[in-house]
Structure 1
Amino acid sequence: MLGAQRKDHLRTLLATEGRVVAKAVAAELGISEDSVRRDLRELAEAGECIRVYGGALPVPAADAPVAQRRAVATESKQRVARAAIALIRPGSTVILDGGTTALAMARMLPHDAELTVITPSPAVALAALEGSPARVVMVGGELTRHSAVTGGALAQEAVSRLSADVFFLGVTGIDRDHGLTTGRLDDAVTKRALAARSADVFVLGSSEKIGAVSRFPVLRLDEVSGVVVDPEDRSPSALEYCEPSPGGPILE
């Protein structure tokens, strides 16, 4: 079988089965596992899959650029945002991550002039400023085109001087085995830094993120206070996050 045919077969498995197990594909096609791993590596370098131990997974929909993500699971994100808003205590300091669910939260903030909102996202900052009397603080740094949030050395310096009661973390993958992941290395570094400066960390878990795995790890599940899932998502993959975890409550 030609290399192009093997890759087409791998793409089909990713689309229909949601995973590729290198050992199984090698046995099925009568080729070496090294050949399968090489094909998967090339597909991953082209952005067509995510390499994991033993094989590969599809690229999550949440890894798309921010402009495309606005149309993904919009109703689920609204429900997650409403559930997360209920966790905000009056007068607290809150970090809202970048992303479409955090943007929905910014538009739902309580009418609390004592609230402080910190964010690396200009869109989230503007929404918070326009929709609430909260004090709004922007994290400085270089603005990335893919996720439209600040990052880099300037952002790291700014984050090191901040502290917050709670961080609402946006990721692109939430998986029991692989933890919390995102599609960009700089974003992962900034998210970890923000989490380290926060007393509590809650993950925003809209439906398209549950069970997905992206390329770069952010935190383990036992390192966060909880995952806020869509209360109307009754799928098995979402329901498992409604059970208590070693790191804290998993919330609906």
Structure 2
Amino acid sequence: MGLLRKVLAWLSVPVICLFALLFYLARPFNPDNNRYLAWVIARVGRALLGIQCTVSGKDNIPTDRPTVVIANHQHNDDLFILGDLLPRRTVTVGKSSLVWVPFFGQVFWLGGNVIINRGRSTKAVAVMRATANAIREERKSLWVFPEGTRSRGRGLQSFKKGAFHSAVAAGAPITMICVSPYHDKTSGWSGRRESVSIRVLPPVETDGLTSDDIPNLMRDCHEAMQKTIETLPTSS
């Protein structure tokens, strides 16, 4: 039953994106399209998977100014876990291969999201710095998984610099979203998934910081997220 739930959840994504494509074509490159789409995908996906999420600190997400959101990245299912937490006018970062995913890739591109080639890290940093202009001038928020790859629930990995370059260059606060470790565990005959705990930490201000401050900023954010993740309740 758990496998069936997962198949249905992921089959729902291209179907939702197919209908959303009309919305995106009517408002191409409007970053707020992403928030609506992510909300629908997350709610439908969690319902199909039978996942219960408990969120604390949601009021810490700035609503009156752009922010750079960073979150720990565990599985592809993060799309369902975190999708409905996007702030207004949020763009995200994804690898270039996502563009070729049917329907999802097309709306990802039309949403004005940041597409990077992970094999060229220096170029990725340059893209993040350029994104700072969009944060300042177009008042876009940016969502990044700073680990750069999935941990599969094995703990917080080291961070890459891109998100922090963007935040510092734009003078935007960093909002940290911490998710408890989770896996594909199911319970009972219905195949419902384990519950997930999420905590949003108060924003870290970057105004006045320079590139020289980035290593310490990365370290402080990593330590804060690591400590928070360790205190989050796991599955019930």
**TM-score between the two structures when normalised by the length of structure 2:** 0.34
Q: Which structure is higher in helix share?
A: 2
| Greater Cα radius of gyration, structure 1 or 2 | 1
Which structure dedicates a bigger proportion of its chain to strand?
Answer: 1
TM-score relative to the length of structure 1:
0.33
* Larger relative contact order (CA 8 Å, sep ≥ 6): 2
